[in-house]
Chain A
Amino acid sequence: MHRIGVFVCHCGTNIAGTVDVKAVAEALGKEPGVVSSVEYQYMCSEAGQTLIKDAIKNLKLTGVVICSCSPRMHETTFRRTAAAAGINPYMVEIANIREQCSWIHKDKATATEKAIILGRTAIAKVTLNTPLTSMESPVTKRALVIGGGIAGIQTALDIAEAGFEVDIVEKNSTIGGKMTQIDKTFPTLDCAACILTPKMVDCAQNEKINIYSYSEVESVSGFVGNFTAKIKKKARYVDAAKCTGCGVCTEKCPMKNVPNEFNLGMNNRRAIYIPFAQAVPKVATIDADYCNMLKKGKCGVCAKVCTAGAIDYKQQDEYVEREYGAIVAATGYNPISLENYDEFAYSQSKDVITSLEFERLTNAAGPTSGQLLRPSDGQHPHTIVFVQCVGSRDTSGCGKPYCSKICCMYTAKHAMLTRDKYPDTDVYVFYIDVRTPGKNFDEFYRRAVEEYGVHYIKGMVGKVSPRADGKLMVQASDLIANEQLHIEADLVVLAAAIEPDKSARSVATMLTASMDTNDFFTEAHPKLRPVESPTAGVFLSGVCQGPKDIPETVAQASACAAKVIGLLAKDKLTCNPCVAHSNENLCNGCSACEKVCPYGAITYSDKEFRMPDRTVAIRRVALVNPAVCQGCGACTVACPSGAMDLFGFSNKQIMAEVDAICK
């Protein structure tokens, strides 16, 4: 006979304000099998837990029902409490009388009635509960980092520092990401390359880090601690082991007119290229879209000049399969396309550029060797207009509804550096709000105004019209002066909104990690679990989770590494015992369960069965791998013969709950 204890929590006034907790405890005390029913202010407090433990011991309880908040919140707490008092933790059931009752009802009588029904339901279930024991699964002590920008680099370095192996998969031919294209970094103005390239070299030299450059993750299977990823190493037509990175091929290649994506198409590169001098790995890559040898079978210049014999026109895509305990998404961002913002004449004039293009124009390794020159005629611009929030905070459907967060600061940096290097230049910044929350950020922006004389104007540019003489007519509002301004500018710089990299969605699908409507990865909890995905074993680093500047990205990347290390440091993981199992006598081997299982946990085997007439029959039956099963229950619904059932959520238990609700 069951001896059930019911514990009704007030949750301060969260529950007690709307639910008559005394009445609930009294009503549930009369249910069959219940030997004690009490209420208390905070069940989750130490005193509350002691109350439960004492009741379990003194009244020899076999099952416990807690009427409180959502099981998401405190199920683990109360299971631990029960285990500490000596009963199986899976003999605890939670009736959610807060989220599902007090918070959504206003009328006390209705809420109380519903709370009693929910409590009765939990009692009906707990009487059918059976003690369950958690299994353990091993942890592969290796991490996969998808994306080799500053976020992926920092996460990989920190994981390697703790002694675990890390693989970085980067789709471009070098790691480094967006930071390699940036000239200087706010608010201290250190040169981006000077602080980034040592980290890139550290990655290359670290024995624990393996870089798969020019590679993509093709598929991922498995679960926390036991992932298997298939990585595609795209053919670069150069043997990475032989290439010394001398660069002779990139000078001799006759295909001179390939747009250089590293400089955002503002100059050209050859068909065989190394993106920049400090690339890691420093290995040439042939662009198959432009190479004459690969397209027409004629040329072969690079092979002739390569003294290392590294060129291999026959190279094929290669696939590697590896096992990982944890996976980090660090897929980064891109500026949005400006096709919806034709009023700024981006497609009409070469002298209307994005902020990232401006970075390349001021970078010593850029197309102008660091001289700020107009892309159209190579002249020094004397009036520059910066436009902020181009496509950010835009709910009209053309852009992104969120604030891109980094633009206010990099625009202040651009404006300040321009005035510093070219004091004869007039610099205007049109802003809606200047957002500078960050250490030394507002001081930095004020310096641009007060020390460098940048004209900050509260208002937005409405229209940019290129004139025949090459000037750009900027029409804008000055909201504080209540005037419309007409500025003859030489260069217009647009602070384009940023969006998650296009690859993020396919990565999220592979990892079964969730995303928001803007394609940013969702964190497990917006405040308390910011670097974990809700999918166990998948972690988030950098802008793929939300807009961030470099300091924040690095901080989050290290936080992410700490979580990965915490996982990899364990030898075994406790599995959820609420998994599916198949009743072989009922299973007819139809494969319905196997087809719906999202985790690949179900296999089939031919088994011998003794039949009533003393013959032996061989039947095909389903087998569940409990280490792989996540207990989603899809198979139990799909099974036509009722052979599949879930521990802890059996069909019988669920029917009992439904009956209790309908009583």
Chain B
Amino acid sequence: MDKREEILRISGVDVRKCMRCGKCSGTCPNYDEMEYHPHQFVYMVETGNIEPLMNSKSIYKCLSCFACADRCPRGVEPAKVVEAVRLAVIRQKGQNHLKASQVPDVLDEDIPQQAFVSAFRKYSK
């Protein structure tokens, strides 16, 4: 299956509903850490430009706080798109980026608790 289709299927998101208001990126608490921002995920998936997203660390930087999904006025849910790209990478490689047991070693004190919890969720799949 085509990567774009795969991500749309995994996420269940209709990226065409996006009206490019940028509220997702305005709302994102981890914006500065991300190379690609929530609105870019939606736009790049819509245009089929998936490779850069799959190769970016942004998919692991997303806190999965779902603030973008909660506040999107069009009900697009960008967080689900980010998660879908991440899952596509995991499925493609057949393995995780990190083992769950490795997670505590790479954490520093400044990282939000939410990211810590979400890291376990992401890496223990």
Contacts and interface: CB of A to CB of B under 8 A. Distances in A.
A-B interaction: yes
A463 B26 contact: yes
B61 interface: no
A484 B32 CA distance: 8
Nearest to B34: A484
B73 A479 contact: no
B39 to A, nearest CB: 7
Contact of B73 (A393, A463, A477): A393
Contact of B23 (A477, A478, A482): A477
Interface string A458-479: 1111110000000000011111
B26 A476 contact: yes
A461 B19 contact: no
B22 interface: yes
A462 B27 contact: yes
B28 interface: yes
Contacts of A463: 26-27, 67
Given A393-B73, A394-B73, A397-B75, A460 B67 contact: no
Contacts of B39: 477, 479
B71 interface: yes
A462 B75 contact: no
A615 interface: no
Contact of A462 (B28, B32, B40, B74): B28
B71 A343 contact: yes
A150 to B, nearest CB: 30
A460 B26 contact: yes
B102 to A, nearest CB: 30
Interface in A326-344: 343
Contacts of B19: 393, 432
B27 A396 contact: no
A461 B21 CA distance: 9
A462 B65 CA distance: 14
A459 B27 contact: no
Contacts of B118: none
- Most chain-B CB neighbours within 10 Å: which of A396, A399, A462? A462
Contacts of A209: none
Interface in B1-55: 17, 19-28, 31-32, 37, 39-40
B72 interface: yes
Given A477-B37, A479-B39, A395 B73 contact: yes
Given A389-B73, A477-B37, A484 B31 contact: yes
A174 to B, nearest CB: 36
A479 B72 contact: no
A364 interface: no
A320 interface: no
B71 to A, nearest CB: 6
A83 interface: no
A477 B26 contact: yes
- Most chain-A CB neighbours within 10 Å: which of B24, B71, B75? B71
A505 B125 CA distance: 52
Contacts of A462: 23-28, 67, 71
Nearest to A461: B26
Contacts of A459: 21-22, 25-26
15 contacts: A395-B17, A395-B74, A432-B19, A459-B26, A460-B26, A462-B23, A462-B24, A462-B27, A476-B26, A477-B22, A477-B24, A478-B22, A479-B25, A479-B39, A482-B40
Given A393-B74, A459-B21, 11 more contacts: A389-B21, A389-B73, A396-B74, A432-B19, A432-B20, A462-B25, A475-B26, A476-B26, A484-B26, A484-B28, A484-B37
